């Protein structure tokens, strides 16, 4: 019975997610769902992405947090539309939450929507939101063993961003071994090595994001 209940919840979520995607596709908006553990740098990556692409794309952000508007307040300083979702304890965003947030955004005036999911490496990957692409962000201080511990998220994503590479001289993180492990799980995944602190690698990441939007026509 418990399995049936879980399947029912996911099925209902997927149906709303499909409706969300239809709405976003109607406006030609490329939507990227960014997932990571707390402290990996999701908001920092979003801020860097806005800076890199603000003169080429019209960007909005949905911020997902258990509580507070701290990250949304940071994004708002970039003068882009931002909608805050507080889950009240849930460890992930759901499609219905995103549906409500879409009502707060000027969809007709957007090219790119970045969704910052709740900081978690287990739950978010199970719940579709209506996104075009899923991105996993990890950071050097977290260690290179995350794919062993949380394989599902690495299998499901389109790109993996390794953040805080400016700390590689000081932290044990084998980039080559990490890449090899993830590619064994997900051969088509795209990798980016960035530092949101120094800006290293951000241009390559931003160009990939731009290309994803251009593919939507």
Q: Please report the pLDDT score of residue 4 as a whole number.
A: 52
| pLDDT value of position 94 | 95
Instruction: Give the confidence band of 1 by pLDDT, cuts at 50, 70, 90.
Output: very low
Mean pLDDT of 183-207: 98
Superfamily of domain 2-215: P-loop containing nucleotide triphosphate hydrolases (3.40.50.300)
Lowest mean pLDDT among 63-67, 145-149, 207-211: 63-67
DSSP of 44-72: HHHHHHHHHHTTTS-EEEEEEESS-SHHH
For residues 138 and 163, the answer to whether their CB atoms sit within 8 Å is: yes
Of all residues in the chain, the percent with pLDDT exceeding 70 is 96
- Strand, helix or coil at 166? helix
Residue 55: CB partners within 8 Å, gap ≥ 6? none
Give the count of beta carbons closer than 10 Å to the beta carbon of residue 128.
Answer: 20
> What pLDDT is attached to residue 66?
78
Domain edges within the chain: 2-215
pLDDT of residue 2: 47
CA distance 191 to 69: 30
Q: What six digits make up the tokens of 216?
A: 């939507």
pTM for this structure? Answer: 0.94
pLDDT digits (tens, 9 = 90+) for 145-192: 999 999 999 999 999 999 999 999 999 999 999 999 999 999 999 999
Identify the bridge partners of residue 135 per DSSP, sorted by sequence position. 34, 159
């Amino acid at each position: 019975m418990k399995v049936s209940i879980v399947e029912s919840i996911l099925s209902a979520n997927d149906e709303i997610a499909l409706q969300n995607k239809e709405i976003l596709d109607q406006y030609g908006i490329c939507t990227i769902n960014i997932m990571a553990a707390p402290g990996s740098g999701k908001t920092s990556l979003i801020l860097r992405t806005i800076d890199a692409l603000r003169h080429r794309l019209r960007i909005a952000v949905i911020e997902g947090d258990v509580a507070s508007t701290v990250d949304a307040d940071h994004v708002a300083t970039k003068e882009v539309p931002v909608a805050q979702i507080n889950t009240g304890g849930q460890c992930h965003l759901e499609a219905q939450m995103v549906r409500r947030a879409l009502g707060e955004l000027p969809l007709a005036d957007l090219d790119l929507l970045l969704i910052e999911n709740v900081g978690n490496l287990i739950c978010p990957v199970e719940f579709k939101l209506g996104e075009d692409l899923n991105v996993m962000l990890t950071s050097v201080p977290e260690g290179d063993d995350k794919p062993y511990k949380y394989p599902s998220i690495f299998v499901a994503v389109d790109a993996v961003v390794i953040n805080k590479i400016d700390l590689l001289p000081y932290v044990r993180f084998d980039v080559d071994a990490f890449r090899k492990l993830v590619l064994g799980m997900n051969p088509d995944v795209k990798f980016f090595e960035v530092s949101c602190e120094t800006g290293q690698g951000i241009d390559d990441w931003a160009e990939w994001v731009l290309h994803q939007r251009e593919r939507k026509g």
